[in-house]
Structure 1
Amino acid sequence: MKIGIITWFTGPNYGTNLQAIALQYFLHQQGNDVSIINYDVAPPTVKNCGRNIIEKIKNQPHKYLTKYALYKYKAQILNRNKKMVSEIQKNCNFTDRIQSEEELIENCNKFDLLICGSDQIWNPNWYNKFYYADYPEILTPRISYAPSLGVNNIPKDKLREIIRGLKKFDAISVREEKGADILTPYLEEKPSVVLDPTFLLSEDDWASIFPLKNDHESNDYVLAFFLAENKQHFRATQDFAKRHNLKYIIVPYVGISYLQKGEKLAGTSSGDLLNLIRNAKYVITDSFHITVFSLIHKKQFYTFQRFKEDAYSSQNVRITNLLKLVHLENRMIPYEMTSIMDLEDINYIEKSSIMKREISKSMEFLLTSIKQVENKRIKN
């Protein structure tokens, strides 16, 4: 079947790039002809809704930290971005660059099926009808695979457009139970809850895409990766590494991370990051996808809450759902916690059976939905 994928795939975002690679790789494994629709609609930055003047002033230093990082680590960052572009180009097929809605509609109608997903393409804070293929002229059947809403509710001003887009799908799945609950009142049946596409590939699959490298002589290090500008989380991770007499390696991503004490690897590409995860003794993060790859590679990990629970743009639900699914809620560290409590090592023999069951359910949804669309096409 000729399948077009609508998802994010640009920019130096590790999770975004790896999920795009994963979904296409899996669909290729099943014998499909797959391309990512090359129509770049970059998600806007979430506005600082509800911030008072004091909070805005306190945020000013982050701007200067970022400028400092871009200056001091410019060469490494440019090299990272270049490598990440190369990784995407090597591992994904794309349509020709689409310049207009007319070209988009024409290209979408050349496919037998459109799959929208995954990542937070359905987050209402950056709603765009493209991520629902919501154009009257597009006649191609569509399903969704693991898009995330990333929020606790849909704003009223976006609800009408989102419902309109959803009504056009042959099958709908989302990445979190919360997302399914939010959408259920507006659909004939509750959406399926499936895993992020990065889970569709095994540890061996990822090794075939990004071969293992022994860049470090041993796994005597704690790997830190944070998306939030939170000093407490960095400090707690550094203390954890020191307490365990382990090296402290940071993959810097936000301004403040470039100023931390530790071995900073600013030139880390997606493949490099997977390699660092594979070789680490511990992984400590606030990232959903770094948590995912810690599970895939059976690592000992801790995940900080990235947001306050009542924050307007909180995305904690993504990680909370995942850890609850595999009965590892104790690996979630509360927001701004200043220390990391030692826990017993994760028993991956026990967790593997849970993960295999959930991966199997996710694969079944995807393959069954594709087959149903294919059968309809043959009948017609």
Structure 2
Amino acid sequence: MTKKEWEQVARVPQIKQLYLVCYLLEDNIAQRKAVEKLAKRLKLKILTFPHILCNVVRKCDLFFGDIHDYTSGPREFIGLIQNAELIVTDSFHASVFSMIFETLFYVFKRDKADAKNSTNRRIYDFLKEYQLVSEESLAEVNKIPEVDFKYAHQHWEKRREESLEYLEHALGVKRRKHR
């Protein structure tokens, strides 16, 4: 889908404050403490999803964050990313939607880099391919820097077209051209 199509899917959140989305799948207290310090420096509220794993609130999320989201579905999740000042995540999908909506984001490693089932590889391959790797650590961020997403979007459009051509060929169908 194009950015415009994703914008039509997204639901605009009813949050009136400036916020950062913290979408962490790993149980890592040190990461959460770094996010709290960052949010304080940037004067942002922290929006979290404490129920991520099987609708169970994890202990590390009990008192973490300012806004706890227990009800968002996919459309609301996309809208929250689209309208956030910043995303802090260890999720591939949150990283991709951050790029689509040109929302600044930071990625934490989710699991041991050498683990057999590590999910880090696809996140870091994505960041490298789309030239979105930042050398700053969260501890050093005092303001939200500007990011040029131009290359990422040009590359995304190229990869999107390649995917559509592949599907067209594999399915033996012709696409209708958008006007």
TM-score by length of 1: 0.41
User: Is 2:53 the counterpart of 1:215?
Assistant: no
Once the two structures are TM-superposed, the CA of residue 330 in structure 1 deviates from its matched residue by: 2.1
Aligned length: 166
AA in 2 matched with 1:268:
S
Once the two structures are TM-superposed, the CA of residue 264 in structure 1 deviates from its matched residue by: 1.1
Corresponding residue number in structure 1 for 2:176? none
Say if 1:363 and 1:213 are closer, same or farther in 2 by CA, change over 3 A: same
Q: Which one of 235, 250, 269 corresponds to residue 48 of structure 2?
A: 250
Q: State the secondary structure of the residue aligned to 2:14.
A: coil
Question: 1:63-93: per-residue Cα shift (whole Å, max 9, x none)?
Answer: xxxxxxxxxxxxxxxxxxxxxxxxxxxxxxx
Q: Identify which range, 277-286 or 354-363, moves more after superposition.
A: 354-363
Question: 1:316-359: per-residue Cα shift (whole Å, max 9, x none)?
Answer: 111011011111122796xxxxx443374221233321221122
Preserved contact between residue 100 and residue 153 of structure 2 (Cα < 8 Å)? no
User: Is 2:161 the counterpart of 1:360?
Assistant: yes
User: Is 2:24 the counterpart of 1:238?
Assistant: no
User: Is 2:75 the counterpart of 1:271?
Assistant: yes
TM-score by length of 2: 0.82
User: Is 2:6 the counterpart of 1:206?
Assistant: yes
Corresponding residue number in structure 1 for 2:148? 347
Say if 1:221 and 1:202 are closer, same or farther in 2 by CA, change over 3 A: same
CA distance in 2, matches of 1:283, 1:273: 12
Q: State the secondary structure of the residue aligned to 1:308.
A: coil
Question: 1:156-213: per-residue Cα shift (whole Å, max 9, x none)?
Answer: xxxxxxxxxxxxxxxxxxxxxxxxxxxxxxxxxxxxxxxxxxxxx1222123334x32
Say if 1:306 and 1:204 are closer, same or farther in 2 by CA, change over 3 A: same
Corresponding residue number in structure 2 for 1:313? 117
User: Higher helix share goes to which structure?
Assistant: 1
Preserved contact between residue 285 and residue 302 of structure 1 (Cα < 8 Å)? yes
Pairwise CA RMSD = 2.3
Once the two structures are TM-superposed, the CA of residue 260 in structure 1 deviates from its matched residue by: 1.3
Gaps of 5+ in 1: 1-200, 334-338, 375-380
CA distance in 2, matches of 1:264, 1:279: 16
Gaps of 5+ in 2: 174-179
- With CA pairs under 8 Å and 6+ residues apart, which has the higher RCO, 1 or 2? 2
Q: State the secondary structure of the residue aligned to 1:353.
A: helix
Question: 1:80-123: per-residue Cα shift (whole Å, max 9, x none)?
Answer: xxxxxxxxxxxxxxxxxxxxxxxxxxxxxxxxxxxxxxxxxxxx
Q: State the secondary structure of the residue aligned to 1:330.
A: coil
Say if 1:259 and 1:312 are closer, same or farther in 2 by CA, change over 3 A: farther
Once the two structures are TM-superposed, the CA of residue 285 in structure 1 deviates from its matched residue by: 0.5
CA distance in 1, matches of 2:15, 2:135: 26
Preserved contact between residue 20 and residue 88 of structure 2 (Cα < 8 Å)? yes
Give aligned-pair identity as a percent: 25
CA distance in 1, matches of 2:16, 2:63: 26
User: Is 2:134 the counterpart of 1:330?
Assistant: yes
Once the two structures are TM-superposed, the CA of residue 214 in structure 1 deviates from its matched residue by: 4.4
Preserved contact between residue 303 and residue 331 of structure 1 (Cα < 8 Å)? no
User: Displaced runs of 4+ in structure 1, greater than 6 A?
Assistant: none
